[in-house]
Amino acid sequence: MIVLRRLLLPVLAVLLAGVAQAQSLKIADRQGSRTVTAQQFLADPAVQTVTIANDSVYGRSMTYRALPAAELLKGLAIAPEDYVEFTATDKFSIGIPARLLLDPRAHAFLAIEAGTEPWPAIPGHGKETPGPFFLVWQNARRGEISSEYWAYKLASLEVTDSPYKRWPALNVANDLPSTHPARRGLDRYVALCISCHRFNGAGEGEMGPDLARPMNPVDYFQPEAFRKFLRSSKSVRDWPERKMPSFVEDVLSNDDMEAVIAWLTYKARQH
């Protein structure tokens, strides 16, 4: 028994530390950081019960205990042109414009999962729930609140400069005409693709391959196959571990898809 306890206690301590860590959110701005546990959040009087009519992860109406994004960001050194980088426990990371998080029309909330009342599993993800922290939007206007902005399994958030400022190499030339589709394409790339992909090293995405190194997809994909791939990646290749999402027209309109391809093409020809 003593031997067992000697062996088990450290193991338990490590396991419990892991659980405690997974159920807290690290919040950082340029000046410092703090960590808030799910329990501490749930005790915040600003937490309310919110119903999300069209939850992007569950595809149906959901009700959560949630903190308004404005309350979440209160007290942080943050400017409207800043971004907030949300990082999930699986390394998924997405920068969201502070402007949108603070937009009273968008109604962004941080939903908090109570350990005692787990949420239903994410459809198609085994037993995983989007908890302990999940960013939800009560008014996700199409073309503005990207599907990637429904960030779940969150571990941290950090106030940062905009991606355009952090990775100037992504930008198009200043003298590129304002009507050139590559401009809109960059905007859509930053909203929809940068969370998983880097471009020539620029970005923090770690889930998918770099889209410029060693080769830009516009240099090896037949144009029609590329469009098919973006609409439904499994129509080009399929395997159990496939993670590249399929971008339906609601999320990426035809014009926006052409714009993303225009930006990739512009970048491929820039050097």
Nearer to ligand HEC, 67 or 182 (CB): 182
Q: Residues in the chain, how many?
A: 271
Please identify, among the stretches 17-25, 31-39, 178-186, 236-244, the one whose residues bind ligand HEC according to the rule CB under 6 A: 236-244
Nearer to ligand HEC, 35 or 270 (CB): 270
How many C-beta atoms lie closer than 10 Å to residue 25's C-beta?
A: 21
Shortest distance, position 243 Cβ to ligand HEC, whole Å: 4
Told to check if 243 binds ligand HEC by CB under 6 A, we report yes
Query: Rounded to an integer, what is the distance from CA 175 to the centroid of its chain?
Result: 31
Told to check if 267 binds ligand HEC by CB under 6 A, we report no
Among 233, 246, 253, 258, binds ligand HEC (CB under 6 A): 233
Single out the residue of 82, 113, 85, 109 nearest to residue 98, CA to CA. Answer: 82
Told to check if 167 binds ligand HEC by CB under 6 A, we report no
Shortest distance, position 154 Cβ to ligand HEC, whole Å: 15
Nearer to ligand HEC, 67 or 170 (CB): 170
Shortest distance, position 73 Cβ to ligand HEC, whole Å: 24
**In the range 213-232, which residues lie near ligand HEC by CB under 6 A?**
217, 230
Told to check if 245 binds ligand HEC by CB under 6 A, we report yes
Per the CB < 8 A criterion, the answer to whether 263 and 186 are in contact is yes
Told to check if 163 binds ligand HEC by CB under 6 A, we report no
Nearer to ligand HEC, 67 or 194 (CB): 194
Q: Which residues, 6 or more positions from 116, have their beta carbon under 8 angstroms from its beta carbon? A: none
> Per the structure block, which two tokens stand in for 268?
């491929």
Shortest distance, position 122 Cβ to ligand HEC, whole Å: 13
Amino acid at 176: L
Single out the residue of 247, 217, 243, 218 nearest to residue 231, CA to CA. Answer: 247
Q: Which residues, 6 or more positions from 89, have their beta carbon under 8 angstroms from its beta carbon? A: 22, 153, 154, 155
Among 114, 208, 246, 253, binds ligand HEC (CB under 6 A): 208
* Long-range Cβ pairs for the range 1-6 (8 Å, 24+): none
CA distances from 58 to 26, 34, 63, 104, 139 (A): 25, 30, 11, 24, 16
Q: Which residues, 6 or more positions from 38, have their beta carbon under 8 angstroms from its beta carbon? A: 23, 24, 25, 112, 113, 114, 115, 132, 133
Size of the site for ligand HEC (CB under 6 A): 20
Please identify, among the stretches 5-13, 30-38, 167-175, 195-203, the one whose residues bind ligand HEC according to the rule CB under 6 A: 195-203
Told to check if 192 binds ligand HEC by CB under 6 A, we report yes
Told to check if 148 binds ligand HEC by CB under 6 A, we report yes
How many C-beta atoms lie closer than 10 Å to residue 101's C-beta?
A: 26
| Exposure on the CB side of residue 218, measured as CA atoms within 13 A | 14
* Site residues, ligand HEC (CB under 6 A): 148, 192-193, 195-197, 207-209, 211, 217, 230, 233, 242-245, 247, 252, 260
